[in-house]
Amino acid sequence: MLALRNIMVTALLAAAASVSAVAADPAPTASPAEGSAAPDFKLQDQAGKWHSLKQYKGKWVVLYFYPKDFTGGCTTQACSLRDNIFAFNKQNAVILGVSVDDVASHEKFAKEHSLPFDILADPTREVSGLYGVLFSAGTSQLASRQTFLIGPDGKIVKHWDKVDPKGHSDMVLAEIKAHSADKAPAKAG
């Protein structure tokens, strides 16, 4: 009887310890603030090619996070950015999409929608965590729909934490143009 009691006490203590460990999980990371340096990363795109933020120094970077390939809002957002790609290119801007889907899913998604920009796989959720965009969906975590506009100097110029997929591409483009106009040299008159 004593042995059985010791086993039960040990099991109860182990269960209590695991509950405490779950309760002690850190709170979600806050998103980096506008004006701060954007966290660097190293992620693979839909073709398996590696990308890091520092390779885009000197360019505008539209880093947009989205929940899932092949869903309505995510498809609308990606296609809207695709349809404005020439305007973004004219502004020296690169578009990078990020979700927790894997490279194979991204490859199919990019091909099906003829995406002319890279979408990056974050299956470990490390980068989504660095940018503070993770949310729980049932038993898994996904990236929420948020966009970071990163300036040519590597600093976050604008953060949209609530994104409507319709019209968002135009809003981001307008923001780039506004900031580019602020830095344009004055014309001699």
Q: Which residues are catalytic?
A: 74
Q: How many other C-beta atoms can be found within 10 angstroms of the C-beta atom of residue 150?
A: 25
CA distances from 184 to 32, 64, 165, 177 (A): 27, 26, 30, 10
Pairing of strands 118-121, 50-52: unpaired
| Distance, CA of 64 to CA of 62 (rounded, Å) | 6
| Distance, CA of 97 to CA of 43 (rounded, Å) | 11
Q: How many other C-beta atoms can be found within 10 angstroms of the C-beta atom of residue 59?
A: 14
**Per-residue DSSP letter, 37:** B
Q: How many other C-beta atoms can be found within 10 angstroms of the C-beta atom of residue 185?
A: 5
| Distance, CA of 87 to CA of 64 (rounded, Å) | 17
